[in-house]
Amino acid sequence: MYTQENGFYIAHGPNGPISILGNMANRHGLIAGATGTGKTVTLQVIAESFCKAGVPCFMADMKGDLSGVSQPGKLSGFIEKRLPEFGMNQEDLNFEGCPVRFYDVFGEQGIPMRATIGEMGPDLMARILGLNDTQTGVLNILYRILDEKGILLDDVKDLRSALDWLSKHAKEYTTQYGNIAPASIGAIQRSLLHLENQGADKFFGIPSFDIQDLMDTRDGRGVLSVLAADKLMLQPKLYSTFLLWLISELYSTLPEVGDLEKPKLVFFFDEAHMLFEDTSKALTDKIEQVIRLIRSKGVGIFFISQLPTDIPDIILGQLGNRVQHALRAYTPRDQKAVKVAAETFRVNPEFKTEDAILELETGEALVSFLDEKGAPSVVERAKILFPLSQIGAITEGQRLDIMNASKDITAKYKEHQDRESVFEVFAREAEAEAKAAEEAAAAKEAEKEAEKEEKSKKKEKSLWSKVWKAVVTAVTSTIAAIVGKKVSDSITGKKSKKETSVKDAAGRAVKNATSAAGRQILRDVLGNLVK
């Protein structure tokens, strides 16, 4: 609840209203507590307060409960009972919903939210795909090569095409970037296939989400951007990495503004433990750096988790505004968590913090916000205010009405587009290479045919040359034999029994020539068969 008198009024303690100071809201916060102790309602109350003050918020709706923030609440017996405790009466209440936009990575329950694989970067993509250090190294090499070539990397088909291309050209880059093992490329391809089978490929592509759309206000109130995450949270790595990408984009996009009277945006990170599970030290350090510096961009981040110990100490130390709901100490680990949670608060001599954490009822919490000097206030046992919007999920019809009311933003992101990126560039290159190879093969085949034809002509010419030679030789030999016999007979005076006529001589020459030609052709044919 936001009022001019009490500011961001969140809880009510023994000493009256407990509020978050506007100029300290960008120092981040933590909402912790066991399941069913009221964390979601606390988140709703805080978001409502910022909304009314004109501060837009982003939050993930894990179970559909937060969608109720879009509808006005109503007076209930529970609220009526609490009014005297808060020093209020019914006339002070103005039940109303907040301006809301619903988003959904899968585009089913809200406006699609997408990012390109290029924008996501190799380290975050490696986290989504669950890659080891070697495979992450290969992915970094691929990103570097594509950057040098100036080729865009938009969606899953682009990454698959790029990996296929890299497998064929790996040797060209080994000396420059190191070994690119086919096994690593294969492992990345399998992880990518698994991601596609889960439907997560819908998240990657264009148009990518414009961070500025989270900064909108309507009629002086901040727009609450609610991400439908009931399906997304089934893929913890994708959920947490996507939210981390959003925070990183905010950090890299927004200008420096220093400390403002109130933040420009408040970001609620529910199920925060998912962000830090199986996270490398390098990435944890990067997260810590972004969270530490993003407050200078006017952004406040609230982590929501069951245990404060879910958050690394290096980051937990930066969360100045804290709401701790009840914890249950059923196991030694739980008991240790209770003790750690108690030690993070500034001691109140009125009660023992560790005991109070175990005794808190639903809707009650230990609260400590930063004071004017930026120091944590003494912890107080307080009751969280009730939201003025609806508690619980809305109907599908109400969700559809809200989505239809955001037609301008819906039209901006609804249709998945496909510009020229890796897939198209490499497909064109492959087509050109295939065409060139086809033309080269055709040219080579034509050259072979020409050589074959030339050889055939030479062979044919050679055959008829041999035949002609054999014919001439046979005719010459026959005539020579006849003339020689005539000369011999004239010298010796010998007379032939039968005088050889010119006609007989010609017939004999033709017969011998034909036999010689036949024998020559037969020898060539048999010779070719043997070859």
Average pLDDT over residues 114-126: 91
Distance CA 338, CA 435 (A): 69
* Predicted pLDDT at 225: 96
* Predicted pLDDT at 210: 93
Q: Assess whether 238 and 301 both reside in one domain.
A: yes
pLDDT > 90 in the chain, percent: 46
* Predicted pLDDT at 458: 66
Average pLDDT over residues 50-73: 93
Task: Lowest mean pLDDT of 356-370, 449-463, 497-511, name the range.
Answer: 497-511
Confidence check: pLDDT of 88 > 90: no
Confidence check: pLDDT of 347 > 80: yes
Confidence check: pLDDT of 278 > 60: yes
Containing domain of residue 125, as a range? 119-195
Average pLDDT over residues 380-401: 93
- Give the pairing of strands 7-13 and 2-3: antiparallel
Q: Which amino acid is at 285?
A: D
Confidence check: pLDDT of 59 > 60: yes
* Predicted pLDDT at 418: 77
Does residue 424 lie within any of the structural domains? no
Average pLDDT over residues 444-463: 72
Distance CA 195, CA 450 (A): 54
Q: Assess whether 284 and 409 both reside in one domain.
A: yes
Q: Assess whether 371 and 232 both reside in one domain.
A: yes
* Predicted pLDDT at 303: 95
Residue with tokens 């090499």: 141
Average pLDDT over residues 98-125: 92
Q: Is 29 strand, coil or helix?
A: strand
Confidence check: pLDDT of 422 > 70: yes
DSSP state string for 150-212: T----SHHHHHHHHHHHHHHHHHHHHHH----HHHHHHHHHHHHHHHHTTGGGGBSBSPP-GG
Does residue 201 lie within any of the structural domains? no
Q: Assess whether 328 and 217 both reside in one domain.
A: yes
Q: Assess whether 388 and 435 both reside in one domain.
A: no
Task: Lowest mean pLDDT of 126-135, 344-353, 450-459, name the range.
Answer: 450-459
Average pLDDT over residues 41-67: 93
| Residue 190: Cβ-neighbour burial (10 angstroms; 0-12, 13-18, 19+) | exposed
Exposure class string for 55-81: b at 16+ Cβ within 10 A, else e: bbbbbbbbebbbbbbbbebeeeeebee
Q: Assess whether 272 and 394 both reside in one domain.
A: yes
DSSP secondary structure code for residue 392 in this structure: S
Q: Assess whether 245 and 389 both reside in one domain.
A: yes
Average pLDDT over residues 154-160: 90
Better pLDDT: 431 or 466: 431
Q: Assess whether 110 and 123 both reside in one domain.
A: no
Cβ 116 vs Cβ 154: under 8 Å? yes
Does residue 425 lie within any of the structural domains? no
**Domain termination site, one of 366, 397, 419:** 419
Distance CA 245, CA 110 (A): 19
Average pLDDT over residues 255-278: 89
pLDDT band at 417 (very low <50, low <70, confident <90, very high): confident
Better pLDDT: 453 or 313: 313
Q: Give all strands (DSSP E) within 14-107, no chain letters.
A: 16-20, 29-32, 57-61, 100-104
Confidence check: pLDDT of 476 > 80: no
Comparing CA positions, the residue from 102, 68, 76 lying closest to residue 393 is 68
Does residue 245 lie within any of the structural domains? yes
- Report the CATH number at residue 366: 3.40.50.300
Cβ 274 vs Cβ 303: under 8 Å? no
Confidence check: pLDDT of 520 > 70: no
Q: What count of other Cβ atoms lies within 10 Å of the Cβ of residue 185? A: 19
H or E element at residue 265: strand 265-269
* Predicted pLDDT at 186: 94
* Predicted pLDDT at 466: 63
Distance CA 480, CA 482 (A): 5
Q: What value does the mean pLDDT of the chain take? A: 85
**Domain termination site, one of 166, 195, 224:** 195
Confidence check: pLDDT of 357 > 90: yes
Does residue 7 lie within any of the structural domains? yes
| Residue 272: Cβ-neighbour burial (10 angstroms; 0-12, 13-18, 19+) | buried
Q: Assess whether 235 and 263 both reside in one domain.
A: yes
Q: Give all strands (DSSP E) within 326-482, no chain letters.
A: 364-368, 380-384
* Predicted pLDDT at 232: 87
Cβ 524 vs Cβ 477: under 8 Å? no
Confidence check: pLDDT of 480 > 80: no
Task: Lowest mean pLDDT of 127-136, 424-433, 460-469, name the range.
Answer: 460-469
pLDDT band at 505 (very low <50, low <70, confident <90, very high): low
Does residue 520 lie within any of the structural domains? yes
* Predicted pLDDT at 264: 95
Q: Assess whether 135 and 251 both reside in one domain.
A: no
Better pLDDT: 93 or 102: 102
Confidence check: pLDDT of 528 > 80: no
| Residue 259: Cβ-neighbour burial (10 angstroms; 0-12, 13-18, 19+) | middle
Ramachandran assignment for 311, one of left (phi > 0), alpha (psi -120 to 50 degrees), beta (any other): beta
Q: Assess whether 287 and 347 both reside in one domain.
A: yes
* Predicted pLDDT at 394: 93
- Give the pairing of strands 29-32 and 321-324: parallel
Average pLDDT over residues 447-456: 77
Better pLDDT: 232 or 483: 232
pLDDT band at 516 (very low <50, low <70, confident <90, very high): low
Q: Assess whether 266 and 370 both reside in one domain.
A: yes
Does residue 317 lie within any of the structural domains? yes
Q: What count of other Cβ atoms lies within 10 Å of the Cβ of residue 85? A: 9
* Predicted pLDDT at 500: 54
- Give the pairing of strands 16-20 and 7-13: antiparallel
Confidence check: pLDDT of 468 > 70: no
Those residues whose C-beta lies under 8 Å from the C-beta of residue 131, and which sit 6 or more positions away, are 139, 187, 188, 191
* Predicted pLDDT at 189: 94
Distance CA 465, CA 468 (A): 5
Hey, what are 173's tokens? 């880059």
Length of the chain, in residues: 531
**Domain termination site, one of 356, 389, 419:** 419
Total number of domains constituting the chain: 3
DSSP secondary structure code for residue 270 in this structure: S
Does residue 426 lie within any of the structural domains? no
Confidence check: pLDDT of 335 > 90: no
Confidence check: pLDDT of 499 > 60: no
Confidence check: pLDDT of 531 > 60: no
Distance CA 98, CA 219 (A): 11
Exposure class string for 138-165: b at 16+ Cβ within 10 A, else e: bbbbbbebbeeeebbbbbbbbbbbbbeb
